[in-house]
Structure 1
Amino acid sequence: MSAVDFHARLPPAAGARDDLLRVMDDLGIGRAAVSAGGLVDLDRLSELVGAGAGRSAHRGGRSAVRPVADNDFVLRNTHRSGGRLLPFFFADPATDVAAYAAEAPSYRGLEISPAVHGVRLDDPGVRALVATAEAARHPVYVVCLGRPGTRAADLVTLARAFPAVDFVFGHCGFTGLDVRGLATIAPQPNIVAETSGCFTAVARLALHRLGPDRVLFGTEYPLQHPRVELAKLAALDLAPAVLRKVTSENALRLLGEET
Structure 2
Amino acid sequence: MIDKVVASAAEAVKDIPDGASLAVGGFGLCGIPVSLIDALYQQGTTDLETVSNNCGVDDWGLGILLKDGRIRRTISSYVGENKEFARQYLSGELEVVLTPQGTLAEKLRAGGAGIPAFYTKAGVGTQVSEGGLPQKYDADGNVAIASSPKEVRTFNDADYVLEESLTPDFGLVHAWKGDRHGNLVFHATAMNFNPLCAMAARTTIAEVEELVEPGELDPEHIHTPGIFVQRVVLATSSEKRIEKRTVALSSTMKTGPTTETGSTLETGPTTASGQAGAGR
More strand by share: 2
What is the TM-score normalised by the length of structure 2? 0.30
Richer in helix (by share): 1
Q: Name the TM-score, length of structure 1 as normaliser.
A: 0.32
**Rg: which structure is higher?**
2
